[in-house]
Structure 1
Amino acid sequence: MHVRPVSTEVLVQELADRLAGQHPGERLRVAIDGPSAADPGVLAAALIAPLRLRGRPAVHVSTADFLRPASLRLEFGRTNPDSFYAGWIDEAGLRREVLDPAGPLGSGRIVTRLWNAATDRAAREPYAELPPEAVVLVSGSLLLGAGLPFDVTVHLALSPAALARRTDPAEHWTLPAFARYAAEVDPAAFADVVVRLDDPRRPAMVLRA
């Protein structure tokens, strides 16, 4: 493999080209995986308009709207990296309300927000109907390796030094969770697309031989 530096604009356009060409005539479920320091939600949002221009309606879902209730999420404290690693995202809810219905045999009716973490209550979001060729972009951290049914996976990779440097000091307690994710899951080894973001102004795409 080799690494090719690109501009942010080129990154977005090339990803949109690649995703638009996947599963023509069918819905597509895409993971945009990365720590908050890599802003996976920003990349997901940036892909919506280019995908629509290519004839693929796109919807962005953030795992921040699919957290487990605070009583479960914070059972072992607000800054427990092990809980953050394995117990914050409501994976069952994400699968049930988004990924399974967006799949080839699904109903196409999804909920884009399941839980309001600010009020710690159900978001009560109405169901949305996906068009036949819709692309569902799911952004968040620690998304890969848990068996969630994605059709395409994009991993935003930072070196440990860059991750520590770009993570808000108030969130440094999450760093052991990301180190564990890199060691146990190693998403950069199998994600369909890997983007190195040590310098956010100069992303680089990892191209496999």
Structure 2
Amino acid sequence: MMLPPTPRVLALRGLLAAIRRSYRAGRVIVAVDGGGPGGGTVFADDLAAVFRESGADTFRASLDGFHTSRAYRTRLGRETAESYYRDGYDESTLRRVLLDPFRLGGSAGFQLSAFDEARDQPVESRWLTAGQDAVLVVDGEFVLRPSLRGAWNASILLTNAVLDPLYVADADPEGTADFLVDESDAGEPRWVERVP
């Protein structure tokens, strides 16, 4: 289904084309960091819609579906900004049930979510499979942290996002993202492809 050619859709199509210049075929994982919980969700949803429009078998996930439990995050005392940054997400489960099996392709099953933070409990496993040239768009704060950098084929930072200072100092997200997107005018985002 063709999306209406609004300035936003046209900008996202241009971003998709830039990503496809490097990754024409095979499984592709794109990360979107919009700062704060859910900050990049709308952008990631819209980017996924443009990938679908292009005919790609496209899936959406969020780091919010891979939180750790409150008990784990507070095991050493009250939760702080630093403990949340260091322990707020279960990267091991993210890799084991989503990223690694998605990259394998074929009949390997993957899960788009493993934990419900609002209910503070794991979610029931729902395993999916996808075609050889599928796309996975993942949003979330801290997706550009050093421990996850190699997980993405392409990464996007929304430059108008409010970022955690510890994250900025540890990860330099603006310096490491493949694409910087200014969404000050959400109707017409402007992006810059970083020169390798």
**Does TM, normalized by the shorter one, top 0.5?**
yes
Contact 2:33/2:40 (CA < 8 Å) preserved in 1? yes
Q: Alignment partner for residue 157 of structure 1, among 159, 168, 177?
A: 159
Instruction: Please state how far the C-alpha of 1:33 moved relative to its aligned partner.
Output: 1.4
The residue number in structure 2 matching 1:24 is: 24
**1:107-139 deviation digits (Å, cap 9, x = unpaired):** 541101101112222101310002111101111
The residue number in structure 2 matching 1:168 is: none
Distance between the aligned counterparts of 1:113 and 1:183, measured in 2? 28
Distance between the aligned counterparts of 1:187 and 1:43, measured in 2? 17
Kindly indicate whether residue 49 of structure 2 is the aligned counterpart of residue 49 of structure 1.
yes
**1:51-103 deviation digits (Å, cap 9, x = unpaired):** 1221211100011111001101234324x110121110111111111111122
Q: CA 1:85/1:192 → structure 2, altered by over 3 Å: closer, same or farther?
A: same
Contact 2:116/2:123 (CA < 8 Å) preserved in 1? yes
Aligned partner of residue 128 in structure 1, secondary structure:
coil
Distance between the aligned counterparts of 1:18 and 1:69, measured in 2? 37
- Code of the aligned partner of 2:125: E
Instruction: Please state how far the C-alpha of 1:106 moved relative to its aligned partner.
Output: 7.6
Q: CA 1:100/1:33 → structure 2, altered by over 3 Å: closer, same or farther?
A: same
Distance between the aligned counterparts of 2:123 and 2:19, measured in 1? 29
The aligned length equals 187
Please list every run of 5 or more consecutive structure 2 residues that lacks an aligned counterpart in the other structure.
1-5
Kindly indicate whether residue 170 of structure 2 is the aligned counterpart of residue 184 of structure 1.
yes
Distance between the aligned counterparts of 1:20 and 1:208, measured in 2? 15
Instruction: Please state how far the C-alpha of 1:7 moved relative to its aligned partner.
Output: 4.4
- Correspondences of 1:22-101 after superposition (within 5 Å): 22-36=22-36, 39-75=39-75, 76-78=77-79, 80-101=80-101
Contact 1:111/1:125 (CA < 8 Å) preserved in 2? yes
Which consecutive segments of 4 or more residues in structure 1 shift more than 6 A? none
Instruction: Please state how far the C-alpha of 1:38 moved relative to its aligned partner.
Output: 7.7
Aligned partner of residue 102 in structure 1, secondary structure:
helix
Instruction: Please state how far the C-alpha of 1:183 moved relative to its aligned partner.
Output: 2.3
Q: Percent identity?
A: 26
